[in-house]
Each structure stands twice: as structure tokens, then as C-alpha cells.
Amino acid sequence: MLLVNLVGEYLYLPNNDFNQLINYSLDQDSDIFSNLKAKHFITKNLSDPAIELLAIKYRTKKEFLSDFTSLHMFVITLRCNQNCVYCHASSKAVGKKALDMSMETALKAVDITLMSPSKYIKIEFQGGEPLLNFDTIKYIIEYANDQALLKNKKLEFVVCTNLTLATDEMLKYLVSNNILLSISLDGPGHVHDFNRHYRDGSGSYEDVIRALDKAKEYIKPENISALMTTTKYSLNFADEIVDEYIKNGFRSIFVRALNPFGYALSKMDEIGYSPSGFIDFYKRILDYIIKINQQGIYMEESFTSLLLRRMLTSFSTGFVDIQFPAGTGISGVIYNYDGNVYPADEARMLAQMGDGRFCMGNVHNNTYKELFYNNALQEIIGNTCAESLPGCSDCAFQMYCGIDPIRNYVTQGDIVGHRPTNDSCLIHKEIIKYLFEIILENDPYYMDVFWSWLTGRRLSEIKVTV
Amino acid sequence: MLTLKGTSINIDKPLLGRVSFTPAESDQSTTIIINPRLSETQLKGYAASIFSQVNADNELTTGKIPIIYNVSDINLLSAGDVVEIFPSGIINVIYQINSRHNQIFVTSKCNSHCIMCPQPIDRNERNLTEPNLRLISLMDKSTSELAFNGGEPTLIGDDFFRLILACKDLLPDTSLLLLTNGRKFSDFSYTHRYSSLLHPNITISIPLYGDNDIEHDIIVGSQGAFNETVMGILNLASFGHPIEIRTVIHKKTYKNLLRISDYLYRNMTFVNHVAFMGMETTWRAEKNLESLWIEPEEVVGPLDEAIHHLTQRDMNVSVYNIPLCLLPKHLWTFARQSISDWKNYFDPKCLICPVKNRCAGIFNSGLSLYGGYLKPVC
């Protein structure tokens, strides 16, 4: 029996001991009794600092909530030169400039962004392909930097791009402003090109690698990260995908499942897979990544380290897509090209498909208070607290998991969702269970690698045995 | 503590002074002079004089100035050392300018009663604060480290704060190590007062013997101690004080090392350093040896596990008081030369050991126990 307390500490108890515990017949002189006390599952009196320690750890764990919205995503344009197989944005042709974010909208959106109480604010440029509207990017960076000085905020900018349109001039500008790049790389040529191609159907892999090599002439490798999305085709190439990341000098990979939204939804027969198909893929790719690390190459799987940080440390880890309460609006927010504000990218796509119910307002018509303090957002957040969610309130993995209400709405018809038939729930539970099996086994082959990720150190610094 | 002995003349009460080999321009009344070339007239005004000669000058022995003569090992003294001399001819070297192990012995009083305590309580103890303040005033400003030791230093009330303030004032560049059970700091307002002293460089070293009160309280012989110590640590951390955790290894703790490590990481990630320590087998540790003794080789496994656990988590960990030949090679990097020089011992066998110069050795009190286990490493 695995016990987990409210700050994510765990203890494995044999069934017999567990039964004695809940029947109040556990021997108080036993090691198990002491263990349960040490991990704050039980206490004998109120002068015990257990309450104080739990309070400190709980505050720390939920610390990510105290800053309110820190991630602000800007849809710079809906236009894109690519038409990827899983695109939920149903990208628009390169010529349709009316689908760009205007300077006026950008200015209003920055003003709203900087009203966030968070001292640290991340502005993420998205699309479409944001480099198609580079002038607006520059305008936002400069205006936001000026305003941030006045308001004493620390800004970080990220451009999410396929990189194929990056010119030397753009790269020079980005590096001189210390901008981070987030590119998409789905694997080796045949995998990447299956998933990500131009509007004419031709693959983009060669152009991406060429552009990446050029970008590295300007931008420090640690300022470039990559995202991979898994399609049915990717499932057979776990090792090759990791090798491709190593080949290109990346130090982390985020193994992401498909989002069944928009355009991708209509193609699920071709690109989709069952939750168990993804879980199996995840386990294979994780095993390969561990092996690579044991060979002396630092490569982190970011989803795993997010979960491990929650399972093995006392630190706070907000993650907009997977947290309780959900990050929608209160941790991340997205400004569409037209100034409409949504609590998540998925809500924007839903609006694009005709259901605008999650729209928080528009930067031209609404104040900061109207956008962020309203019944609609309160209803969403109120329905994403694990403690009161059916299926989550009594789940042992609550402290490690999170919920995406918009995804629930899209896939299951309401923001609460139905856990027994929820794919995300299934995937998260299985992966957390798998990680627990590894943790409880405590084999240094895995654990040393995990800790090298959690502490950002090389494996050789962790191995005590020389 | 290093102790020398001689024959005293004209000394009727204990005297404290700073050793000098050359005539002092000022502060002669707090200087103990060692210089056989000076005449009686020249020696006047000094706190005392020390001579190595077996037969002191007639002129001096019949004179009025305080003297200890017939002191062998006088070469062990350095200019700047502080010594306390007694009518019996005993010379206690209470501060050595060239040592990294100087300490202020604050009090022998304690509110815990640890089963392995090496420090007897002196029931008739006089207040040590005034002599300690004088000692601090005689220490050299270049002293890099100074430990506050006991007993439990926080039991002497405001005198404890006076000692800290004296160090802050007179030894501004000296970092202090406060060895305390931390219990007093469970009182938030006390911790607040302590913090208000604003000494810039004190590490607070607190022992923990279990991850729960049941185990810890039995070892420290005081019910409620664990809870107070934990609250003390939390209060100290809330003021940002650097904290070190110490665990003495013996039969009742060696199996707890891993769980203590995990407890520290989950609850007190902020601690700067964790030290696992070999036991000094004097006083109560000696009396209780039967229930405390554990074969050195049995310690290695649990110690290794605990060190690995902390190292994985990027926590600083050291091993004190265990000689290298009792540790597997991969743990040597954590071993420190931690035993105060005046009670540090090496076996004759150790003389040929190639790593003696980086080894902790053993406590002189542990010779009969550990002597048989020591062996030069190849």
C-alpha cells in the first residue's frame, strides 16, 4: 500500500501494517510507527512540530500560485508557412496579413500583461509562425522592456517558431535582446517530415536543421530548446528521436502526447493512438534516455523531471498545463492576434472553431480587472481544485498531477471531466505509477540520473562510488 | 586542551595571560613572558614569567615576581597563545594561535542528558563568563574560527549574548561555530533576540539523532527534546542563520542515518551541512559503551547509503572523527580532519600510512577501543 501525504511525501506499507494502522493496532514501538511519525502521517500530540512542518511544506508546494499570471502568450499571427499534421490552429495562408496582430493590439496586450502582480513575467510569441510578423515582435520587445523598467518587472521573452524563416538579421536582433528560442523538432528526417511539412506537403526537416545550425552561430545553445509532439508514426522510433536531439546538442526533450484539438481531431485515424500506446512509448523512450545518460550524455526528459520534482522534493512546481488548481488564466493567459484574451491556447482554438465560451474579453474593450476578475474565470478555477474534484479528491497522486479544464470540455463535454474515461488521467496515473515503481526499487542506475536532472548536475558529480 | 606543568613561585590564584617571547610595549599585566635573558627588574609588571630551567635563578626564586619554572615542553607554546596558570604549577593552554580548533567553553550545564555525552557536568561550576570575556579579549584578531562549546551554551542567560557581542566587537573577522542542542531557539522571541545581536558570521551546529521524537528523545535523555530542537531549527532558519546538523554514530543511531538524511532533505533543505561523526568514548559514552559500541565495519553500509542519499540531493555532507582506514576509499572525499589537535591520536602503525597527513586519526580516548582496527592503507 502506497501512502501519500498532503505535501507529496510517500511511504510504502505492507498491507498487513496498513490494516493495523487504520485499526489503531499498530505497535507503537515498531519502526513503521516511527516512520509514519517522521513522514507526518500520524502524530501523538499537538506540540509535535508536524503541523508546522506540513504547513511550511504545503505553502512551499503551492508557492507558484502566489504570483498569479506569469506566462503571457501572444499570438503574433495566424499565418504559417507550414501545415503540420497535428496543428490544432488550422494555420492560415502566408498572404492573409489581416490575421496579424497589429501594433495597437500589441500595445494594449503589453499594458495588460504588465499589470500582472507577478514580478517575473514571461512573454511567449506564438502563431501561426510568429517570424512572419517580426515587426510586431520587435515592437513588443521594445515597448515591454521600457514599461518593465518603469514597473520594476523582470521580463523573459521566448519565440516559439519552426525557425525556417529566420534570417541573420532576425537572429542578430534576438541574440542582442537575450531572447530564448523554442523550436519544434519531432525526430529524425522521416519522423519530422511525416509530422511537420510545408503547405505544399514537402518536408521541413532539412530547412529546420539548417536554420538551427545558423541560429547556433548567434544564440547560445542553452537559450534554444525544442519541443517534440508524438504521432502514431513517431511511436516506432523512440531511440531515433532521442538520438536526433543528442545530435543537435539539446540537453532536454519533452515527450508530449497529441492534443486532440481542432485540425488534429479530424485526422486521429491517421496520427492518433490509445493512451496505452503512448504510455508504452513513454516507457521505452525513458529507458533509452536513462541508458544514454549512463553513457555520460546529459539528456533530461522534462515531463519526467516535472513529476519527479513533485514526488521527490519539497519545492514548488507550477506547470500551466498540469497543476491544481489549473493554470488557465491564473498562471498562463493568451492574447489572440485580434486582442481577444483566453485562459489557454486550447480555448482560443475552440473559439476559432465557433465556441467562444471561454473568451475572457478583449484588450481593446476590457480592463485588467474585467479580464481577470470575472465569474467565467472563477468558475473554471473553482472547478479545478483537486480537493473537490470527483476522481481527484481521493486520488493518491493528487499532489503530483494536474488538470486541464479546457481539454476536459473539448474531449468530455464539461470542464470537470469524467476521470474513469479521461485519457490524460489514464496517462498521468500510469506514468506516475511507473515512476513510483522505479523510485521504490531505488536502483542507482535510474535514481542517480533522476537526481542529476533534479539538481542540474552531471551524473559523475552524483555517483559516490569511484 | 594542552597542559604543561612546572613549579610555581609567588602564584596564589589562577592567572590568565597571553604568551610573549619578546618584551611587551603595553598590556604587560595581561602578558605572560617567556624570556630567560630578562632581569628581575625587566620582568616586573608582567602577569607572570615562565622558564624551562630546572633550577631557576636564585635571584628570581627569592624575589617577588610570579614565576613558573622547570617547565618542559615549553617549545609547544607560541607567541599569542593564551594560558591559564595555577598555584599548583599547571599551565593550561586555553587558546592556541596556530590551531583551527579553539573554543570557548561556555558552561558544562546542559538540559539534555545524552547517552554518549563526553562532557561531565560540573555541579560546583563557577560562572565562566568573566574569564571567557577576558579570554576573548586576549585572542588574536587573526583567529579564523572559534567554537562555542559546552554543555549547552544557551543556558547561561544574557551572559551568552555578552560573549557573542564581545566576539563581534573584538574578533570581527572570526567565524563562530555555536554547538547547541537548539532547544532554546524553539522560543521564537529568544531566537529574535539572538538574531538582533547581528553577528555576521555564526554557524549553528545542532545534533539530530532520529527523524522522530521517539528515537531522538531516548538518545538525548530528555522527553520533548526532538520537538524543541526541530522548532528551534525552523525558527533559526526563518532568520536566515546558517545551520549545520550533526549526528554522532553509535549503535542506537547508525541505522537512522538514512532516514535522518531524508528527513533533512524533505523538511530542512536549507541546512548548509550535515556531519556524521565518530563517537568520542569518554565520560557517559565510556560508561554506556556496552549499549553504544558498534563494529566499525557495520557502520560503513548505513553511512554509505546516507551519504549517497544526501549527495544525490546536492546536500553538503562530511564524515568527522573516523580514520580513513575504517572507511571505504570512495568515502574518503567526505572525511575531514575534525579532531581537535590536543586530543588527536595516531597509532605507531599509522606512521607508515601514506594518507596519514589527510586522516582524522582517532580520539586519544579511543585508543584501547580502536587501536586494533587501525591499519596503514596501501
Q: B355 Cβ partners below 8 Å, 6+ apart?
A: B324, B332, B377
Q: What is the count of residue pairs from A and B with beta carbons less than 8 Å apart?
A: 66
Say if B318 is an interface residue toward chain A (CB within 8 Å).
no
B chain contacts of residue A455, beta-carbon cutoff 8 Å: 312-314
Tell whether the model's pLDDT for residue B39 goes beyond 90. Answer: no
With CB atoms and an 8 Å threshold, state whether A464 touches B307. Answer: yes
With CB atoms and an 8 Å threshold, state whether B210 touches A35. Answer: no
A chain contacts of residue B215, beta-carbon cutoff 8 Å: 34
More confident residue, B36 or B173: B173
Q: Testing the interface with B: which of A12, A34, A305, A461 to mutate, by most B Cβ within 10 A?
A: A34
Global pTM reads 0.94
DSSP state of A267: T
Which residue in the set A52, A447, A465 is minimally distant from B231, CB to CB? A52
* pLDDT of amino acid A48: 82
* pLDDT of amino acid A45: 81
* pLDDT of amino acid B191: 98
* pLDDT of amino acid B56: 62
With CB atoms and an 8 Å threshold, state whether B269 touches A465. Answer: no
A chain contacts of residue B266, beta-carbon cutoff 8 Å: 9, 39, 57, 314
Nearest residue to A316 (alpha-carbon basis) of A61, A75, A85 = A61
Sites in chain A below the pLDDT cut of 70: 88-90, 464-466
Say if B7 is an interface residue toward chain A (CB within 8 Å).
no
With CB atoms and an 8 Å threshold, state whether B263 touches A451. Answer: no
* pLDDT of amino acid A466: 43
Q: A376 Cβ partners below 8 Å, 6+ apart?
A: A357, A358, A360
Q: In this structure, are residues A191 and A240 in contact, taking their beta carbons and an 8 Å threshold?
A: yes
What is d(CA B282, CA B287) in angstroms, rounded to the nearest whole number?
8
Say if A38 is an interface residue toward chain B (CB within 8 Å).
yes
Whole-number percent of chain B with pLDDT over 90? 88
Residue with cell 550535515: B274
The ipTM (two decimal places) reads 0.94
With CB atoms and an 8 Å threshold, state whether B259 touches A447. Answer: no
Nearest residue to B182 (alpha-carbon basis) of B234, B132, B138 = B234
Nearest residue to A106 (alpha-carbon basis) of A137, A131, A146 = A137
Residue pLDDT, tens place only, B211-220: 999 999 999 9
Q: Using CA of residue A335, residue A338, residue A339, residue A340, what is the dihedral sign?
A: negative
More confident residue, B301 or A96: B301
Residue A366, number of CB atoms within 10 A of its CB: 18
What integer is the mean pLDDT of B49-70?
81
Residue A456, H or E segment:
none
Grid coordinates representing A385 are: 481544485
pLDDT category at B114 given cuts 50, 70, 90 is very high
Report CA Rg, chain B.
Answer: 23
pLDDT category at B58 given cuts 50, 70, 90 is low
Give me the residues paired with residue B183 across strands. none
What integer is the mean pLDDT of B334-351?
90
Chain A nearest C-alpha distance from B113 (Å)? 21
Buried b / exposed e over A54-76, threshold 16 CB at 10 Å, is bebbbeebeebeebebbbbbbbb
DSSP of A216-247, one letter per residue?
HHHS-GGGEEEEEE--TTGGGGHHHHHHHHHH
CA atoms within 13 A on the CB side of B136: 26
Residue A459, number of CB atoms within 10 A of its CB: 17
Q: Between the CA atoms of B357, B363, B369 and B374, what dihedral angle is there, to the nearest 10 degrees?
A: 0
Q: In this structure, are residues A436 and A2 in contact, taking their beta carbons and an 8 Å threshold?
A: yes
With CB atoms and an 8 Å threshold, state whether A464 touches B224. Answer: no
B307: closest chain A residue by CA: A464
B chain contacts of residue A446, beta-carbon cutoff 8 Å: none
* CA–centroid distance for A95 within its chain: 32
Q: Between the CA atoms of B299, B269, A301 and A345, what dihedral angle is there, to the nearest 10 degrees?
A: 160
Calculate the average pLDDT of chain B: 95
What integer is the mean pLDDT of B259-287?
97
Which residue in the set A37, A457, A466 is minimally distant from B314, CB to CB? A457
Chain B nearest C-alpha distance from A425 (Å)? 27
Tell whether the model's pLDDT for residue B230 goes beyond 60. Answer: yes
Which residue in the set B211, B224, B311 is minimally distant from A464, CB to CB? B311
